[in-house]
Amino acid sequence: MKLLVVILGIVALCSGTAIPPVPGDNSHYVDGESRYIWMPDGEGTPALVDLHEPVDEELLRTRNGANNAYWLFTRSNPNNPQVIVHGNANTIWASSYNGALPLKVIVHGWNNNGWSPMNPQITAAFLAVTNCNVIVVDWGALANQLYTTAAAGVPSVGQSLGNFIVWLRNTAGGAWNNVHLVGFSLGAHVVGNAGRTARGWPVRVTGLDPALPGWRGNSNALNNRDGVYVETIHTDGDLLGIKDPIGDANFYPNGGKNPQPGCWVSTCSHGRATELFAATVYHNHLVGRQCPNIWEAELSTCFGASFHMGNGDWNKRGSGIYHVFTGANWPF
């Protein structure tokens, strides 16, 4: 990691713009002030990101929500996706989609794609406990661009997803009271925009450590009006993830900040939210205690009412701030 910082510094010097020394653990980062931050690349390796990098507006004209791919998984095809094309009803009829079953939608984050580990992990969890339709959204054509450009394209990706779900329900049936949207990092803001586009009809929206850089105070960020019940799980607050309680129910495992138990790389805590969620879908075993405020959640000194974190129950309802103790290894 130190070698990578040195290399980046040399490259920047050669180009005329020096990168100041950047600690490898994000201990330097202050939202709204810092220019550089470490984020995980597609393989989970920390990559240094320039948050002042200009948005590629030209690229956004060709890589946006219109490029979303929608992969259907069911108990009939748990491992091999069936592609549903927005506007082409024949792709629905040729698939295993069943409008009478619940619909789960999963959206990845930056530098990921439809095959990134969180997608098969959460898909397998949903299908293990519920006979349902699972749609994995692959927006990798945009998500694998510079962070600033990918973040700028989130509203388009989310609006296209929202319109797709409306079309899917109108074309092939299904009730809104069993639609559950799940998004990680930038994907959390994608599902927020999708829920908003669908008039807040999705019965449940889950944001897994919603991305922070560029999103605090952003009108396009996930909020508690994007679904009937909006839940957030915060694992890297004030670094890669928003710390603010932006949902109806907001969970702070182990205080909601870096480092999470068992994480030895600075970027691990951010992705831990996806693993915790998948584990709760299988086991529904992580129980939070309500906190009077976010500071008590960080200090792990909460003794209020109990409320389960995560799980796949589309009838789940609740509100407030919750602290959760977890273990360091699966299933935590």
Q: How far apart are CA 327 and CA 10, in angstroms?
A: 41
Greatest Cα-to-Cα distance within the chain, rounded to the nearest angstrom: 60
Look up 95 and say whether it is catalytic.
Answer: no
Burial class (CB in 10 A: 0-12, 13-18, 19+), 216: middle
Q: How far apart are CA 137 and CA 115, in angstroms?
A: 10
For strands 179-184 and 103-107, give the pairing: parallel
Backbone angles phi, psi at 175, to 5 degrees: -100, 150
Q: Which of 180, 234, 270, 323 is catalytic?
A: 270
CA distances from 67 to 91, 108, 135, 153, 245 (A): 16, 14, 15, 11, 31
Q: Which of 209, 226, 238, 244 is catalytic?
A: 209
Q: Which of 185, 244, 266, 308 is catalytic?
A: 185
Q: How far apart are CA 180 and CA 106, in angstroms?
A: 9
Look up 138 and say whether it is catalytic.
Answer: no
Contact 187, 195 (CB under 8 A): no
What residues are paired with 181 via a beta bridge? 105, 205
- The pair of structure tokens assigned to 99 is 């409008």
Look up 238 and say whether it is catalytic.
Answer: no
Beta-carbon contacts of residue 290 (< 8 Å; ≥ 6 apart) = 302, 304, 305, 306, 307, 320, 321, 322
The residue type found at 201 is W
Where does the chain have alpha helices with state H? 2-15, 57-60, 89-93, 118-129, 140-143, 147-152, 154-172, 186-197, 268-283, 294-299
The catalytic residue positions are 185, 209, 270
